[in-house]
């Protein structure tokens, strides 16, 4: 068979471009096919008047993620990024305000909740124990036969219970539970596995970072690496079918054009990959059933982008990001309700208030500022966002967007009084917006939810596909930008192994795990 290239990558999101760059560095001829007119997926930005707005990645929280991204680009031979650094805060009401990345969590929480000081110390001690067990398990991935199960018994327990169940096992005070939940989960719900909260609490330690120019700079850098290794990044090329012969992928179809390859890597939504591109006839039935019915996607987001005619200090901000909740009451319940289909936005909902992009002169005009508001919500929310039965986003959709956007501004004004008086530019995005531009079904923000049931499922997605010759590097696997990029390195290693090569990247073993271990040892 005459191949057009060695590897076809479906989707020019951050994972697909990383996989293409990593494969190109190893000598593979790569073709990246992107359905949209721009690369980047959720890492894109957009411009309104003189403002450039980030769509999704509003921060890399903590030193570990920033150093991990630097290491990945360095390994690919890319130029170093320029960064700006800022603080991120968790605020509940007017009295509880802490740095998200604070490392002295025991002392901080004990000051607010002295009657639970012993339980707080015990909880954070066990979080450190599980973090160390996770590092051990990550190190043993290269030699799984040597792994001793007794050394990860706490990690196993944290995988088998939800974060809400974990909090119930340590604390009595419902306000303390709410504070630790808000600090540890990030965006999501209490039904996520407890280990996810541990990862958030540890990885987010330290300040937050963004590249100067936003994540677009990472996208541009990866495209440059792909092209310099002889690869092709082709826009407006929607893959309509993954071709399978004798149980193995042999290429793809783009409208009427067929491209043949030895391997296919999908950066696309995994449900759409197997339902629409591979097809049920080539997918194991149990996998198709889990993809469509058992593995739950994470929530999406309601976002508001604001360009302001004043500097931030006039509104009491300095370029920080704030996760704001109005009250402890119903905090956990409300967070859970927001990410269930069929809900409505409660009157007392909080929101994320992100002002860090104002610090980037490439994104915000001098003398002005920008604010990005957001709240995690289900994809099917507020009566389907006002979309009619034919799927048309007409007047009702626009009115629903505007109404909910104004509601988020009402909330933000509790932290930034008179915010509304300074708005020059306003855009609102719903899960339908994220689905349109990111092409993940329902606008899912972090792929499949990391619940105890999914984590313990032996079929849970990995970098190896369910059809021979197909590999995954998709956000559907449950991660943000750095995790998706890291999965792309893992998918590349699987292709190298399939070709009998031993020049593997082994990024997790060589870089990610040592970085996690270094920070855990320094701050233990």
Q: What is the DSSP string of 126-171?
A: HHHHHHHHHHHHHHGGGSGGG--GGGGHHHHHHHHSBHHHHHHHH-
Of 271, 351, 301, 354, residue with least CA distance to 86: 354
Full pLDDT tens readout for the chain, 524 residues:
678 999 999 999 999 999 999 999 999 999 999 999 999 998 999 999 999 999 988 899 889 999 999 999 999 999 999 999 999 999 999 999 999 999 999 999 999 999 999 999 999 999 999 999 999 999 988 788 899 999 999 999 999 999 989 999 999 999 999 999 998 775 556 778 898 888 888 888 899 999 999 999 999 999 999 999 999 999 999 999 999 999 999 999 998 899 999 999 999 999 999 999 999 999 999 999 999 999 988 889 999 999 999 999 999 999 999 999 999 998 988 888 888 888 899 989 999 999 999 999 999 999 999 999 999 999 988 888 988 878 888 899 999 999 999 999 999 999 999 999 999 999 999 999 999 888 888 888 877 888 899 888 999 999 999 999 999 998 655 668 898 999 999 999 999 999 999 999 999 999 999 999 988 876 65
Q: Are 40 and 216 in contact (CB under 8 A)?
A: yes
DSSP 278: I
- Residues 112, 96: Cα–Cα separation, whole Å: 8
**Among 472, 475, 490, which residue's Cα sits nearest to residue 56?**
475
Residue (of 175, 120, 445, 443) closest to 325 by Cα position:
175
The alpha carbon of 48 is separated from its chain's Cα centroid by a whole number of angstroms, namely: 24
pLDDT the model gives residue 523: 60
Q: Residue 1 has what pLDDT?
A: 62
Q: What is the pLDDT of residue 255?
A: 87
pLDDT the model gives residue 308: 98
Please give, one letter per residue, the 3-state secondary structure of 427-488. Answer: EEECHHHHHHHHCCHHHCCCCECCCHHHHCCCCCCCCECCCECEEECCHHHCCCHHHHHHHH
Question: Following DSSP, what letter does each residue of 339-357 receive, concatenated?
Answer: TSTTB---TT--EEEE-GG
**194 φ/ψ angles, rounded to the nearest 5 degrees:** -60, -30
User: Residue 354: which residues within 8 A CB-CB, separation 6 or more?
Assistant: 58, 59, 321, 322, 371, 372, 373, 374
Residue with tokens 């994809």, as numbered in its chain:
379
**Which SS3 state, helix, strand or coil, does residue 25 take?**
helix
400 is written with which tokens? 């629903």
Q: Tokens at residue 361, please? A: 């002169």
Q: Is the Cβ–Cβ distance between 196 and 480 less than 8 Å?
A: no
**How far apart are alpha carbons 175 and 178 in whole angstroms?**
5
- pLDDT value, residue 219: 97
pTM for the model: 0.95
Task: Check: CB of residue 142 under 8 Å from CB of residue 506.
Answer: yes
- State the pLDDT at residue 252: 98
| The two structure tokens encoding residue 199 | 């990862």
DSSP letters spanning 247-268: TEEEEEEETTEEEEEEEEEE-S
d(CA 143, CA 47): 48
Neighbouring CB atoms inside 10 A of 336's CB total: 17
Q: How far apart are CA 1 and CA 246, in angstroms?
A: 14
Nearest to 469 by CA among 270, 245, 232: 245
């Amino acid at each position: 068979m005459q191949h057009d290239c060695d590897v076809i990558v479906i989707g020019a999101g951050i994972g697909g471009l990383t996989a293409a760059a990593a494969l190109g560095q190893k000598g593979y001829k790569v073709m990246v096919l992107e359905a949209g007119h721009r690369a980047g997926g959720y890492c894109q930005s957009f411009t309104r008047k003189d403002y450039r707005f980030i769509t999704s990645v509003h921060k890399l929280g903590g030193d570990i993620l920033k150093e991990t991204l630097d290491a990945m680009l360095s390994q690919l031979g890319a130029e170093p990024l320029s960064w700006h650094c800022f603080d991120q805060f968790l605020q509940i009401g007017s009295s509880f305000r802490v740095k998200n990345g604070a490392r002295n969590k025991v002392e901080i929480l004990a000051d607010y909740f002295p009657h639970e000081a012993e339980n707080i110390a015990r909880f954070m001690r066990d979080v450190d124990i599980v973090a160390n067990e996770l590092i051990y398990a990550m190190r043993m991935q290269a030699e799984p036969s040597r792994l001793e199960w007794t050394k990860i018994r706490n990690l196993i327990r944290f995988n088998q219970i939800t974060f809400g169940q974990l909090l119930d096992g340590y604390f009595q005070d419902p306000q303390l539970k709410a504070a630790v939940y808000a600090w540890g989960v990030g965006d999501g719900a209490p039904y996520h596995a407890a280990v996810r909260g541990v990862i958030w609490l540890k990885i987010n330690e330290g300040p937050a970072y963004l590249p100067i120019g936003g994540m677009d700079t990472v996208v541009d850098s990866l495209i440059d690496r792909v092209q310099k290794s002889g690869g092709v990044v082709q826009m407006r090329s929607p893959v309509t079918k993954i071709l399978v012969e004798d149980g193995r992928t042999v290429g793809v179809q783009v409208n009427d054009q067929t491209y043949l390859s030895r391997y296919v890597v999908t950066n696309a939504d995994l449900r759409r990959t197997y339902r629409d591109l591979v097809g049920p006839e080539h997918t194991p039935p149990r996998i198709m059933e889990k993809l469509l019915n058992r593995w739950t996607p994470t929530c999406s987001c309601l976002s508001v982008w604001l360009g302001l005619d004043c500097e931030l200090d006039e509104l009491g901000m300095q370029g920080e990001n704030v996760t704001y909740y109005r009250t402890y009451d119903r905090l956990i319940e409300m967070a859970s309700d927001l990410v269930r289909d069929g809900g409505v936005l409660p009157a007392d909902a909080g929101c994320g208030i992100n002002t860090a992009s104002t610090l980037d002169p490439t994104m915000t005009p001098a003398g002005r500022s920008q604010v990005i508001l957001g709240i995690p919500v289900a994809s099917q929310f507020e009566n389907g966002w006002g979309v009619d039965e034919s799927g048309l986003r007409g007047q009702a959709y626009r009115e629903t967007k505007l109404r909910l956007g104004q509601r988020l501004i009402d909330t933000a004004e509790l932290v930034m009084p008179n915010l509304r008086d300074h708005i020059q530019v306003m855009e609102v995005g719903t899960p339908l917006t994220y689905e349109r531009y990111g092409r993940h079904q329902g606008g899912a923000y972090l792929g499949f939810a990391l619940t105890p049931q999914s984590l313990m499922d032996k079929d849970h997605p990995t970098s190896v596909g369910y059809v021979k010759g197909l590999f995954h590097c998709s956000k559907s696997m449950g991660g943000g930008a750095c995790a998706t990029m890291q999965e792309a390195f893992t998918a590349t290693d699987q292709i190298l192994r399939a070709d009998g090569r031993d020049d593997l990247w082994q990024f997790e073993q060589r870089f990610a795990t040592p970085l996690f271990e270094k920070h855990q040892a320094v701050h233990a």
